[in-house]
A and B are shown apart, each in its own frame.
Chain A
Amino acid sequence: MEGSQQIINLLVVGVTFALYIGIAIWARTSSTSEFYVAGKGINPVANGMATAADWMSAASFISMAGLIAFLGFTGGAYLMGWTGGYVLMALLLAPYLRKFGKFTVPEFIGDRFYSRTARIVAVVCLLAISITYVIGQMRGVGIAFSNILEVPLTVGLVSGMFVVFIYAVFGGMKGITYTQIAQYCVMIFAYTVPAVFISLIVTGVPIPQIGLGSTMTGSETHLLTALDQTLVDLGFTQYTATEGGMSMLNMFLLTISLMIGTAGLPHVIVRFFTVPKIRDARKSAGWALFFIALLYTTAPAVGAMATWNLLDTLIHDRQNIGEPESHLSYDDQPAWMERWAETGLLRFDDKNEDGRIQYYNDANEEFAQMAQDEWGWEGSELTRLDRDIIVLANPEIAGLPTWVIALVAAGGIAAALSTAAGLLLAISSSISHDLLKGVFTPNISEKGEMLAARLSMAGAILFAGYLGLNPPGFAAEVVALAFGLAAASLFPTLMMGIFYKKMNREGAIVGMLAGLVVTLGYIFTYKGFMFFPQLALLPDNADYWLFGINPGSFGVIGAIANVVAAMVVAKLTAPPPAHIQQLVESVRVPRAD
């Protein structure tokens, strides 16, 4: 990388870091209410924006467009799963939990089910979900630093952790919320600017959401039609068709699992505790989805257009795929290709030694055989195409100025830090508020609890930083686990707590455990106990999956197990006491009694 680019990159990231620290100093906290729920004083639109930053992780920012480009139509499962969950949260959870009016998700479960055991089980679920999730964010910080900024991982990670430390330990939820608003702005700007330009280049339309459905510049052909055709010519399946990617059943179940899982993520639910009123909680969920949708409806356009750009660079003449001259010569590679090949995210191999790059689907045996016999192709020569490159290389592909590249780095880091901070707050408040104040040392003073909250936040940051530097081998698998667990444990229990007055302590505890065991059991059967592959009981492929269900799509089955177990146990045991039934009544009505 050139020295001047490096300086601009570090300057842009440095400015954003200074901004976050400035906000932290301004938004210091002094009470537990401010630390846990920002004093319930956040404007609903501002809270929506903070929720969007909280929610959109490094994976959403860096990896999602590439994932969709790779899957085509079925990639919609992620788009719909990760947005549709907000409907469930807005209709089934947010207003009622806001009315309940306390600080944490396990606190609601403990009070509603009049049981410390239930509260502890909820804390265990929360910790399992949030810790697995935070590992992914640390990895995102690492990618942004080492691949874009070319700064050693340790330096990048430590400076990132330092910034989070400043605003999360001193500012709590209040500091995190106002920083997240700034981070959202950085993130959405960094995402949409390259997207607008790539849309202009490919289709001449400045709005990517419309560009994706438009004709290509200087042509009567629609972008998606050309993309479908070219992929088929290269032995792949059509981009927009329903076959390919994953089976219909798995797409259906994955979508539902991600929706329920999204609605059950404690670090997102707690955001709706921070607004002043119940009507704010309802509206705020809509604003959150609005700000999320700006990125989520852009992502499919980025995915398809960057894929198209790549194909267009590799293939000069789409009408004559078989001709040697139709394919890019190794000597003519654009600069961005060479640069990204250096990072290892992109890799070529001139298998048939003709000096040209042939990219096609060599897993399609019929097509590969034909290509070998007729054209002398010896296998696809694009041997590695990391999905992350779709977003990371976008500004260079579109030929944008250097500061935009720096902006993408800052955006990726903002996405990772904002989500990490939200998760760390959920982790630390479940320790200081649910375990210490709630269970082990109930007589702790407010001052003592504040100190405990700050200390557990600091501890959680160090722990996450350690995991970031020494990522467990299963880092890639854990996101599915987090959603599966949230779907199977917390969401059904919260929902039954509000909508089924007769649900009792015993039912809730057995239900949560059943959901947890069923989901973990299924995932571990195929992925190995604690993700050690050698401990897997069955091979992880469709032939061995129960009814062909992918372990990543299994959360909804765990949720059903939770509800069934809870219902059966609740019927067999004593109903909840009268004051609990009154609590449910009061949670259902906005006006205070």
Chain B
Amino acid sequence: MSDSGNQVTKDRGQYWQQNLKIIAGCLAVWAFVGLGLSILLADFLNNFSIGGYPLGFWFAQQGSIYTFLVIIFFYAWRMNKLDREYDVDEN
């Protein structure tokens, strides 16, 4: 009984570690696009263009928002999968 209890605790610990890794990855993309490409590197990126948009400007006023959207839906999909892998999903 206590063995299976320990197993559950261990699995949940691993589940949480996996979640933290996924969050870290998502937030790295979030910061790289939202703060990096759109602000810190925007001046440099403005030398390139996408259609009639200077690239840095596009990231600051369009691209970053699309990226945020993709990150949230990716996280939802990835976590729902992780929930099933560790058998902690809602019934």
Cα distance, A21 to B54, chains bound together (Å):
47
Knowing that A279-B76, A588-B16 touch, tell me 11 more A-B residue pairs with CB under 8 angstroms.
A68-B61, A76-B38, A80-B60, A87-B27, A91-B72, A212-B53, A248-B40, A279-B83, A286-B73, A286-B76, A591-B91
Q: A255 touching B69 by the CB < 8 A rule?
A: no
B35–chain A nearest beta-carbon distance, Å = 6
Q: How large is the interface on B (under 10, 10 to 19, 20 to 34, 35 or more residues)?
A: 35 or more
Among the listed A92, A212, A223, A248, which residue makes an inter-chain contact with B23, where contact means beta carbons less than 8 Å apart?
Answer: A92
Q: B12 touching A589 by the CB < 8 A rule?
A: yes
Cα distance, A588 to B9, chains bound together (Å):
12
Q: B38 touching A286 by the CB < 8 A rule?
A: no
Q: A73 touching B35 by the CB < 8 A rule?
A: no
Q: Which 8 A-B pairs have the closest CB atoms?
A: A76-B60, A222-B52, A213-B51, A282-B76, A286-B72, A213-B53, A240-B57, A300-B61
Cα distance, A585 to B73, chains bound together (Å):
25
Which applies to chain B's interface (DSSP): helix, strand, loop or mixed?
helix
- For B71, the closest partner residue in chain A by CB is A87
Which one of A289-297, A310-318, A439-447 is at the interface?
A289-297
Q: B52 touching A215 by the CB < 8 A rule?
A: yes
Q: How large is the interface on A (under 10, 10 to 19, 20 to 34, 35 or more residues)?
A: 35 or more
- For B82, the closest partner residue in chain A by CB is A590
Cα distance, A240 to B49, chains bound together (Å):
11
1/0 per residue, CB under 8 A from A, across B47-88: the answer is: 000111110111011101110110111011001100100011
Q: A84 touching B54 by the CB < 8 A rule?
A: no
- For B43, the closest partner residue in chain A by CB is A242
A88–chain B nearest beta-carbon distance, Å = 8
A254–chain B nearest beta-carbon distance, Å = 10
Cα distance, A213 to B61, chains bound together (Å):
11
Residues of chain B within 8 A of A589, CB atoms compared: 12, 15-16, 88
**A residues neighboring B (CB under 8 Å):** 68, 73, 75-77, 79-80, 83-84, 86-87, 90-92, 95, 209-210, 212-215, 222-225, 240-242, 248, 251-252, 255-256, 259, 277-279, 282-283, 285-286, 289-290, 293, 296-297, 300, 585, 588-592
Among the listed A213, A222, A252, which residue makes an inter-chain contact with B58, where contact means beta carbons less than 8 Å apart?
Answer: A213
Residues of chain A within 8 A of B83, CB atoms compared: 279, 590-591
Q: A293 touching B69 by the CB < 8 A rule?
A: yes
- For B44, the closest partner residue in chain A by CB is A242
Q: A240 touching B64 by the CB < 8 A rule?
A: no
Cα distance, A79 to B39, chains bound together (Å):
12
- For A591, the closest partner residue in chain B by CB is B88
Cα distance, A77 to B60, chains bound together (Å):
7
Q: A289-B72, A590-B90 are in contact. Are A80 and B64 (CB under 8 A)?
A: yes
- For B45, the closest partner residue in chain A by CB is A242
Q: A86 touching B68 by the CB < 8 A rule?
A: yes
B16–chain A nearest beta-carbon distance, Å = 6
Residues of chain A within 8 A of B72, CB atoms compared: 86-87, 90-91, 282, 285-286, 289
Q: B40 touching A252 by the CB < 8 A rule?
A: yes
Q: A84-B30, A293-B69 are in contact. Are A591 and B90 (CB under 8 A)?
A: yes
Residues of chain A within 8 A of B90, CB atoms compared: 277-279, 590-592
Cα distance, A279 to B88, chains bound together (Å):
12
B37–chain A nearest beta-carbon distance, Å = 11
Q: B51 touching A282 by the CB < 8 A rule?
A: no
Residues of chain B within 8 A of A296, CB atoms compared: 65
Residues of chain B within 8 A of A210, CB atoms compared: 51
Q: B56 touching A242 by the CB < 8 A rule?
A: yes
